[in-house]
C-alpha cells in the first residue's frame, strides 16, 4: 500500500486589505479596532474584487501547489474542493476550477473528477481524508485538495452584522496529496460531527422544506429575510465546543499514533479566533513558537485557513521536510477534525 504525502502547497490572498478601522470608516460599522482585537485577535482581513468568484480565487493557489509538487494539472486524478461560499448553489466549484485549470482542453484531455465538500471550517480536513484514502487505496496518485472562500460577498457589513462580519475574510489555499513508497506523509486523521448543534452557527439563505424554497412575489422575484440571508452565531457556545473538540481530537490522533505533544514540531490550528487558539494551546501546554498564526492578518477564511497557513510556513522556511506536524479544526455543524503528518 502506498503512503500519502503532501507534495505541494499554494495560497492566494486577495490584494485588498480591509483593516478594523476600514470597517468603521468605509462601511460605517459601529465597532472599534480595540474591540475586535480584544475578542478575536484580528487586525485586518482581505476582500476579493467584485466579479471574482471562489473557483477563480482558488486557481492561483492550485497552480502554485501543482508547481511545487512538480506535476501538471493533467496529472491529477481528482479535485476535492472545500468551501462554504461556492460560486453557485450548483454546480459545485470543483468543476469550475477544473475548467479554469484547462485539463479537459489540454493537448491530451483528461476529465478529472471533481468533488465539493461542504464542511465549513473543518472542510479542508474532511477533504484531506478523502485524498488520503484515495491515494492509499491506489485509486489515485495525485489529488488536489483546495480550501477557498469569498466571504466578503455574503457578509452583513453593517452594525447589525458586526459580530460576524468582523471575523471573516477571503482567501484560498491548496495542497497536492501524492503517492509515495517512502515511509512518510499523512499518518492519521480523525473526524467528527455533532448535528445537535447544526443551527448554532449557520447561514440558511433558503429552506428547502418550503414551497417555494425562497418566498417570491407575484412576479416571481425572490425575497430573503435578514435572519435567513446573513450568518448567525452563538459565540459562547461555539467557543466552548471548539475548545473541547479541538483538544479532544488532537489527543485522539496523538493517542492513536502513540505520539506525545512534545514530539510535534508545529501545530496548525484553524484560524477562527486567536483567543480560542491561545486557550487551546495553553490548556495543552504548547509553546507559542510551535503554534503559527495568520488570523491577525487574514481573518477567518474558513476552509482556507489551514492550507494557506501551511503554504505560508513552507514559503517562509518555518515548515521544513522531516518535521512532524498536527492539524486541527472545528466549525459549523458542529464538525471537527485533526491530523498528524510527517512532512
Domain count, the chain: 2
Calculate mean pLDDT across residues 145-158. 96
Query: Do 27 and 166 lie in a common domain?
Result: yes
Whether residue 177 sits in one domain with residue 33: yes
Neighbours of 202 (CB within 10 A): 15
Residue 235 confidence class, pLDDT cut points 50, 70, 90: confident
pLDDT exceeding 70 applies to what percent of the chain?
A: 100
Q: How far apart are CA 29 and CA 229, in angstroms?
A: 18
Same domain, 74 and 160: yes
Which range is least confidently modeled, 18-32, 38-52, 69-83, 220-234? 220-234
Look at residue 305 and tell me if it is in a domain: yes
In a domain? residue 218: no
User: What pLDDT shows up at residue 117?
Assistant: 97
Q: What is the mean pLDDT of the chain?
A: 96
> What pLDDT, on the 0 to 100 scale, is given for residue 262?
95
Give the whole-number percent of the chain exceeding pLDDT 90.
Answer: 97
The pLDDT score that the predictor gives to residue 281 is 96
Q: Is 171 found in the same domain as 248?
A: no
- Mean pLDDT for 275-289 is 95
Judged against a pLDDT cut of 90, whether residue 72 lies above it is answered with yes
pLDDT at 139: 97
pLDDT recorded at residue 106: 87
* Claim to verify: residue 51 and residue 163 sit in the same structural domain: yes
Per-residue CA distances from 267 to 243, 277, 289, 316, 319 (Å): 15, 10, 9, 16, 11
Say whether both 236 and 338 belong to one domain.
Answer: yes
Band the pLDDT of 78: cuts 50, 70, 90: very high
Rounded mean pLDDT of 99-104? 96
pTM for the predicted model, two decimal places: 0.96
| Three-class DSSP labels, the chain | CCEEEEEEEEEECCCCEEEHHHHHHCCCCCCCHHHHHHHHCCCEEECCCCCCCHHHHHHHHHHHHHHHHCCCHHHCCEEEEECCCCCCCCCCHHHHHHHHHCHHHCCCCCCCCEEEECCHHHHHHHHHHHHHHHHHHCCCCEEEEEEEECHHHHCCCCHHHHHHHCCECCEEEEEEEEEECCCCEEEEEEEEECHHHCCCEECCCCCCCCCCCCCECCCCCECCCHHHHCCEECHHHHHHHHHHHHHHHHHHHHHHHCCCHHHCCEEEECCCCHHHHHHHHHHHCCCHHHCCCCHHHHCECHHHHHHHHHHHHHHHCCCCCCCEEEEEEEECCCEEEEEEEEC
Q: Classify residue 213: in a domain, yes or no.
A: no
On whether residue 222 sits in a domain, the answer given is no
- 296 and 247 in a common domain: yes
Q: Residue 59's pLDDT band (boundaries 50, 70, 90)?
A: very high
pLDDT of 341 strictly over 90: yes
Local confidence band at 61 (pLDDT 50, 70, 90 cut-offs):
very high
Instruction: Enumerate the active-site residues.
Output: 121, 270, 300
The last residue of one of the domains, among 127, 149, 183, is 183
Question: pLDDT value at position 108?
Answer: 87
Tell me, what's the pLDDT at 149? 98
Residue 157 has pLDDT above 90, yes or no: yes
> What is the CATH number for 239?
3.40.47.10
Q: Which domain holds residue 285?
A: 186-199+231-342
**Residue 224: inside a domain:** no
Query: Mean pLDDT across the stretch 186-215?
Result: 94
Asked if 36 and 171 sit in the same domain, the reply is yes
pLDDT category of residue 1 using cuts at 50, 70 and 90: confident
Q: Indicate whether 8 belongs to any domain.
A: yes
Cα atoms in the Cβ-side hemisphere of radius 13 Å centred on 287: 7
Q: Which of 183, 210, 244 is the last residue of a domain?
A: 183
Model pLDDT, residue 307: 98
Rounded to an integer, the average pLDDT of 88-113 is: 95
The confidence score (pLDDT) of residue 319 equals 98
Domain membership of residue 66 (yes or no) is yes
269 and 310 assigned to the same domain? yes
pLDDT over 90 (residue 285):
yes
The verdict on residue 215 lying in a domain is no
30 and 115, same domain (yes or no): yes
Q: Is the pLDDT of residue 41 over 90?
A: yes
User: Are 174 and 190 members of one domain?
Assistant: no
Together in a domain, 194 and 146: no
Amino acid at each position: 500500500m502506498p503512503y500519502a504525502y503532501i507534495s505541494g502547497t499554494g495560497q492566494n490572498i486577495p490584494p485588498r486589505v480591509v483593516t478594523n478601522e476600514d470597517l468603521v470608516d468605509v462601511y460605517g460599522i459601529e465597532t472599534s479596532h480595540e474591540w475586535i482585537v480584544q475578542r478575536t485577535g484580528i487586525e485586518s482581513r482581505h476582500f476579493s474584487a467584485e466579479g471574482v468568484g471562489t473557483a477563480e480565487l482558488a486557481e492561483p493557489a492550485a497552480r502554485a501547489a501543482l508547481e511545487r509538487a512538480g506535476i501538471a494539472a493533467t496529472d491529477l486524478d481528482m479535485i476535492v474542493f472545500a468551501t462554504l461560499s461556492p460560486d453557485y448553489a450548483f454546480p459545485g466549484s470543483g468543476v469550475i476550477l477544473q475548467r479554469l485549470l484547462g485539463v479537459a482542453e489540454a493537448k491530451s484531455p483528461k476529465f478529472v473528477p471533481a468533488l465539493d465538500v461542504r464542511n465549513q471550517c473543518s472542510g479542508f480536513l474532511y477533504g484531506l481524508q478523502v485524498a488520503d484514502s484515495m491515494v492509499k487505496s491506489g485509486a489515485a496518485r495525485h489529488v488536489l485538495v483546495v480550501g477557498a472562500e469569498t466571504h466578503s460577498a455574503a457578509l452583513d457589513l453593517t452594525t447589525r452584522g458586526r459580530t460576524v462580519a468582523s471575523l471573516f475574510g477571503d482567501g484560498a489555499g491548496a495542497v497536492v496529496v501524492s503517492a509515495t513508497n517512502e515511509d512518510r506523509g499523512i499518518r492519521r486523521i480523525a473526524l467528527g460531527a455533532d448535528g445537535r448543534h447544526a443551527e448554532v452557527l449557520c447561514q440558511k439563505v433558503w429552506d428547502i422544506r418550503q414551497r417555494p424554497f425562497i418566498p417570491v412575489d407575484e412576479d416571481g422575484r425572490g425575497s430573503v429575510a435578514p435572519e435567513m440571508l446573513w450568518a448567525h452565531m452563538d459565540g459562547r457556545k461555539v467557543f466552548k465546543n471548539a475548545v473541547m473538540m479541538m483538544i479532544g481530537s488532537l489527543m485522539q490522533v496523538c493517542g492513536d499514533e502513540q505520539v506525545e505533544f512534545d514530539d510535534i514540531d508545529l501545530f496548525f490550528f484553524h484560524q477562527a479566533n486567536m483567543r480560542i487558539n491561545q486557550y487551546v494551546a495553553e490548556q495543552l501546554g504548547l509553546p507559542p513558537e510551535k503554534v503559527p498564526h495568520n488570523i491577525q492578518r487574514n481573518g477567518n477564511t474558513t476552509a482556507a485557513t489551514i492550507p494557506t497557513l501551511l503554504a505560508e510556513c513552507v514559503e517562509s522556511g518555518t515548515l521544513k521536510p522531516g518535521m512532524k506536524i498536527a492539524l486541527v479544526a472545528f466549525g459549523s455543524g458542529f464538525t471537527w477534525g485533526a491530523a498528524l503528518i510527517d512532512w
